[in-house]
């Protein structure tokens, strides 16, 4: 079987996925980052009354149509404490930002444009037109206006709007449930002492964090032994929990001790493809288990993280109806890059901002996929396409951002 190009594998993975149809009605304070499942209309008008945009004096514009007109201050309007009377000819009301504009007034004279005299009299040093410095009622939205359509992501700004429309709860699409299954007799949980031929199961922490950040809920089914029945039981638990995505870590190849693919097929998985033309992470598996998407990641921690970035993150974003994070960028290669073979390579690198503003990528001299420390220190992955020719230092290269710079 030939190796599948990365881009084609990504397209096939998404093409076989279903976007979330389940919905939840949850408190607004818990809805950050979620996609609205129904339009959100205003339950009130905003602002609910004409209010002042500045500190100053509420006046009739006709009374300050010429410089030097004198007006008598008859009261005050502050936020939460409006002036109950009516502004008449040659009268003014002291007003503060956000306060209701009293009846009779149709403009606000800025406090710096008013000369104060004794006995509560002011004199204008600026000529005003009607409506100046007044925010009219309904300027933002009015009752029953559909402000946020279905599919809107409730980011910080949209949460403010939803709250201002007086929605304490919202109906959103459910997060995809990702079931994580780590396999391998060599694995032990964090906090335990490994035997002489065992290692700590670390990959699951990075993979689960990426999935959460992309918009998923996680169920960790623990470490499963290299046993066909045990793996099948774990898959059955994932299905019983209603997993939308089943992610396995390790055993996705077809060696004598790689049982995951066979156990999944026995459990009803339809294999879509496996073996990707990429490094690290060639033994990646994709399939479907009923309505759930199956993603088999390599067990090697660095390989699993690179594959999770390229495949799990966009899958979760797509299914949860969130925009896919843009990691693609370019940088200047700080060192020569050698010619590449038939697999797309991903070189761990740091980034530095040059004096001219360009990002410069510095690949680590060691790229062995077992070195987790190097991955943790990396700012990006330098992407070397299949059969890319060698390039000299100073050439522009494609990168995948791991951190914002």
CATH number at residue 16: 3.40.980.10
pLDDT over 50 at 37, yes or no: yes
Q: For residue 258, what pLDDT is reported?
A: 63
38 and 166 in a common domain:
yes
- The pLDDT mean for the chain works out to 94
Please state, in angstroms and rounded to a whole number, the distance separating the CA atoms of residues 124 and 104. Answer: 18
Q: What is the pTM of this model?
A: 0.87
Beginning with the edge strand found earlier in the chain, give each strand of the sheet holding 114-117 in spatial order.
Answer: 107-110, 56-59, 91-95, 70-77, 121-124, 114-117
305 and 181 in a common domain:
yes
Closest CA to 26 of 18, 36, 16: 36
129 and 78 in a common domain:
yes
| Strand 278-279 with 292-297, pairing | unpaired
Model pLDDT for residues 61-84, shown as the tens digit of each residue: 999 999 999 999 999 999 999 999
Annotate 9-20 with DSSP letters as a single string: HHHHHHHT----
DSSP 69: -
When mean pLDDT is compared across 95-109, 157-171, 249-263, the lowest value belongs to 249-263
Mark which of 135, 164, 196 sits at the end of a domain: 135
342 and 314 in a common domain:
no
145 and 211 in a common domain:
no
Here the tokens at position 45 are 């008008």
Question: Which domain does 219 fall in, by range?
Answer: 6-21+175-319
210 and 284 in a common domain:
yes
Q: For residue 1, what pLDDT is reported?
A: 54
Closest CA to 177 of 257, 292, 36: 292
pLDDT over 90 at 368, yes or no: no
Q: For residue 259, what pLDDT is reported?
A: 85
179 and 167 in a common domain:
no
Closest CA to 369 of 270, 278, 266: 278
Q: For residue 148, what pLDDT is reported?
A: 98
User: How many domains does the chain divide into?
Assistant: 4
CATH number at residue 117: 2.170.190.11
Q: What is the mean pLDDT of residues 192-201?
A: 91
Look up tokens 């019983």; give the residue. Answer: 240
Q: For residue 254, what pLDDT is reported?
A: 56
Model pLDDT for residues 160-186, shown as the tens digit of each residue: 999 999 999 999 999 999 999 999 989
Q: For residue 282, what pLDDT is reported?
A: 83
Annotate 158-200 with DSSP letters as a single string: HHHHHHHTT-SEEEEEPPPEEEEEEE-TTEE-TTSPP-TT-EE
Mark which of 285, 300, 319 sits at the end of a domain: 319
Query: Does 1 map to a domain?
Result: no
C-alpha 211: how far from chain center: 11
352 and 284 in a common domain:
no
């Amino acid at each position: 079987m030939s190796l599948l190009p990365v881009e084609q594998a990504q397209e096939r993975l998404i093409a076989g996925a279903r976007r979330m149809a389940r919905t939840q009605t949850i408190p607004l304070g818990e809805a950050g980052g979620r996609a609205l499942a129904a339009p959100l209309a205003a339950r009130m008008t905003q602002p609910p009354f004409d209010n002042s945009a500045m500190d100053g004096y509420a006046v009739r514009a006709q009374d300050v149509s010429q410089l030097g007109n004198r007006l008598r201050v008859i009261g005050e309007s502050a936020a939460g404490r409006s002036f109950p009377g009516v502004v008449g000819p040659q009268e003014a009301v002291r007003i503060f930002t956000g306060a209701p504009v009293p009846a009779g007034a149709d403009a606000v004279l800025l406090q710096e444009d008013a000369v104060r005299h004794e006995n509560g009299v002011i004199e204008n040093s600026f000529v005003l037109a009607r409506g100046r410095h007044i925010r009219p009622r309904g300027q933002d939205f009015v009752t029953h206006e559909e402000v946020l359509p279905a599919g809107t992501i409730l980011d910080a700004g949209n949460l403010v709007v939803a709250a201002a429309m007086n929605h304490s709860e919202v109906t959103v699409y459910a997060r995809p449930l990702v079931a994580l299954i780590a396999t391998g007799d060599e694995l032990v949980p964090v906090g335990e002492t490994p035997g002489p031929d065992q290692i700590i199961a670390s990959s699951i922490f990075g993979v689960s964090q990426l999935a959460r950040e992309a918009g998923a809920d996680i169920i960790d089914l623990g470490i499963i032994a290299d046993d066909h029945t045990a793996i099948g039981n774990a898959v059955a638990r994932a299905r019983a929990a209603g997993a939308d995505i089943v992610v396995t870590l390790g055993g996705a190849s077809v060696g004598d001790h790689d049982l995951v693919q066979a156990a999944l097929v026995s459990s009803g998985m339809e294999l879509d493809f496996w073996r990707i033309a990429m490094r690290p992470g060639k033994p990646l598996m994709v399939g479907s288990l009923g309505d759930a998407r199956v993603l088999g990641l390599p067990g090697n921690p660095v390989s699993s993280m690179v594959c999770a970035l390229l495949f799990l993150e966009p899958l979760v974003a797509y299914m949860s109806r969130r925009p896919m994070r843009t990691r693609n960028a370019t940088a200047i290669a700080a060192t020569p890059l050698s010619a590449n073979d038939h697999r797309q390579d991903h070189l761990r690198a740091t980034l530095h901002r040059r004096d001219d503003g360009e990002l410069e990528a510095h690949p680590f001299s060691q790229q062995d996929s077992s070195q987790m420390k190097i991955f943790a220190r990396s700012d990006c992955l330098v992407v070397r396409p299949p059969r890319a020719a060698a390039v000299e230092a100073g050439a522009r290269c494609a990168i995948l951002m791991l951190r914002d710079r």
